[in-house]
Structure 1
Amino acid sequence: MAERGWSRRRATDRLGVNRQTIADVLDGRSWPDVATIARLEAGLNTPLWPPLARR
């Protein structure tokens, strides 16, 4: 998000993920479920999981 200059609010709009979910994941308070990871990967156009399978 930082590379794109996105705030958490803008990320919410662009990624289709609840703002509180984004805050909780970024702050380490929770782990995203598979559906959230898929939305983040699609919205960011970046693979996030599994980390070793794509290297």
Structure 2
Amino acid sequence: MKFYNAYINQYLKLFNKAEYLPTYSPDLNPIEHKWAQAKSKKREMGCDTESLFSVHMV
């Protein structure tokens, strides 16, 4: 943590501003919706991930 604070302080001296990233939100990431669909289909079919993608990604 000490190194991190020193790094932030040095950055602020050079650029005079800090922009922090927002917290992660799966709702804002479109790939998360696709993974949810794939997991749902996997549960529905009762198969493993490799089988699911080999059948549906042809």
What's the TM-score, normalizing by structure 2?
A: 0.31
Q: Which has the higher contact order (CA 8 A, sep 6+)?
A: 1
Q: Normalized per residue, which structure has more helix?
A: 2
What's the TM-score, normalizing by structure 1?
A: 0.33
Bigger Cα Rg:
2
